[in-house]
Amino acid sequence: MSVRLAVIGAGVMGSDHARIFAAELPGATIQVVCDAAEARARHLADSTGAPHVLADPEIAIRRADVDAVIVASPDFTHAPLSLACIGAGKPVLCEKPLSQSSQECLRVIEDEMAAGRRFIQLGFMRRFDRSYAEMKAALDQGHLGRALVMHNFHRNMETPASDFIGAMAITNSAPHEFDVARFVLGAEFEAISAFQPRRSDAKVAPVVMVLETEDGQLVNIEINNNAAYGYDVRAELVGELGAISMNAPSHSKLDANLRQTVGYDADWRGRYAEAYRRQNRAFLTFVRTGEFSAIAADAWDGYCAAIVGEAGVRALIEKRRVAVDMTAQPTFYRGN
């Protein structure tokens, strides 16, 4: 039987998830689209064949004809809606971040543990990207020797028009790197420093972070939300015996006018299209079988990203190295 999904949030990511489930993955049906803006919800419902449109997410989550939920509404709603999904006993694919507050993540973790099983798969889709998978495999198979440094660049063309403030470089964009670096290295962070150059205008400036892992590795991250030229993510992992860097996936290059050019995507949806598909397919398997993907992120990973982000914001404001004071990982979350 097809998995009946409620998609909460009909913006950029809700629309992309709904399209992937409806058009690219067999075995899923969009049952409800929920958004405070009715016309937006209706438009997405029409384009994905969803029979129902709602404004109230709590009602959508509780509906008997909804098997699982996609949360793609604004960041501050992710944790409360994930809690509602746990309360209703419905698996949820929740967009990152789970919350920008580590305390709120801990509340979600408590509820999930009390419910006795995992409900939340968190949308850190880069874990499903082949470049990071190959980086992790090169490390795990010993080709690099001991890992020393992971370099990361993360550039967006521009900040969204709405409400993107400076700290969100750390709390909204950098969580991707916080998570994928933990995933690749298999280590937790113990300290973070953060720096910011001065721009010539009022736009959000880049943030450069240096993180230290408990195993004595360094991870540096440049987040540039106003890079102007395209969506550009790069990473290189350097070990004692070798290094591995990702190629920007591109399918063609143009030769013209004495130049060779390769295009950029305008945002993450194109660059990570395959990763999103794999992530969403893993979610459907989780809903159908109860088997949580061995590589997907869970609520614990959401907490880890949030507590690193909090320390990062403090490091930037206070202009000093800040320790990441993480609580011990509950055994409930060990083993994936």
Of residues 111 and 301, the one with the C-beta less far from ligand ISE: 301
Please tell me the distance from the alpha carbon of residue 179 to that of residue 194, in angstroms, as a whole number. 17
Of residues 3 and 180, the one with the C-beta less far from ligand ISE: 180
Q: Of the listed pieces 145-153, 170-178, 200-208, 296-304, which binds ligand ISE according to CB under 6 A? A: 170-178
Minimum distance, C-beta of residue 143 to ligand ISE, in the bound complex (Å): 28
Half-sphere exposure of 209 (CA within 13 A, CB side): 36
Minimum distance, C-beta of residue 220 to ligand ISE, in the bound complex (Å): 17
Q: Using the rule CB under 6 A, which residue among 15, 77, 102, 173 binds ligand ISE?
A: 173
**Contact predicate 69/90, CB 8 Å:** yes
Minimum distance, C-beta of residue 272 to ligand ISE, in the bound complex (Å): 7
Contact status: 73 vs ligand ISE (CB under 6 A): no
Minimum distance, C-beta of residue 233 to ligand ISE, in the bound complex (Å): 7
| Among 111, 127, 71, CA closest to 292 | 127
240-299 residues in contact with ligand ISE (CB under 6 A) are 268
Contact status: 213 vs ligand ISE (CB under 6 A): no
Q: Of the listed pieces 134-142, 171-179, 291-299, 327-335, which binds ligand ISE according to CB under 6 A? A: 171-179
Half-sphere exposure of 63 (CA within 13 A, CB side): 22
Q: Using the rule CB under 6 A, which residue among 99, 172, 279, 293 binds ligand ISE?
A: 172
Helix (H, G, I), strand (E, B) or coil at 113: helix
Residues 6+ apart with CB under 8 A from 298: 118, 120, 121, 122, 292, 333, 336
Binding mask 143-162 for ligand ISE (x = CB under 6 A): -------------x------
| Among 65, 67, 80, 103, CA closest to 9 | 80
Mark 242-278 as b/e (b = at least 16 C-beta within 10 Å): ebbebeeeeeeeeeeeeeeeeebbebbbebbbebbbb
The token pair at 119 is: 């409900």
Tell me the site size for ligand ISE, rule CB under 6 A.
6
Enumerate binding residues for ligand ISE (CB under 6 A): 156, 172-173, 176, 225, 268
